[in-house]
Amino acid sequence: MWQSGAMVAGGTAKPRILVVDDEPDMLDFIERVTRRRFDVTRCPNGEDALALLAEREFDVLITDHKMPRMTGLELLERLGDRHPRMVRVLLSGYTDVPEEQRAGTSGRVHHYVLKPVDSKALLAGIDHAYKVRDGVEPFASQD
């Protein structure tokens, strides 16, 4: 199932981030990179993520593209227009995938980051995704 992080000292809530990946090492890595800025919740698959998203709101969703049973793009498609303020980042080991570009231009994903994931690129990608969601910058993949 899922695991969640904690509050900032003083009781102020951090923005919530949901990380979906079938690889425990990737979940560990993303949690280490983001936990100072976000309250991190981990999910091992898209089905658990959908169930959790039906119960709670998240500020950011990071999902792997290639997972068994449900891909990250299928997860984003199933979310549809629900959670319109949630920032969506897709992780992919593939470049120039037409489905990812369509997801970006349709607003289903705000940024995608290429694997192997670099910690600075991931944090910059999250920051960029906020700007795409808010209409400040256009959709773009990691450079």
**What percent of the chain is modeled with pLDDT above 70?**
80
- pLDDT value of residue 96: 58
Classify burial at 65, counting beta carbons within 10 Å of its beta carbon; exposed 0-12, middle 13-18, buried 19 or more.
Answer: buried
Q: Which amino acid belongs to residue 61?
A: L
* Better-predicted residue by pLDDT, 121 or 103: 121
**Six token digits for residue 13:** 């809530």
pTM: 0.84
- pLDDT value of residue 103: 53
d(CA 126, CA 70): 23
Q: Are 49 and 84 in contact (CB under 8 A)?
A: no
Domains along the sequence of the chain with CATH: 13-141 (3.40.50.2300)
Q: Tens digit of pLDDT for each residue in 43-86?
A: 999 999 999 999 999 999 999 999 999 999 899 989 888 898 89
Strand partners, 63: 20, 90
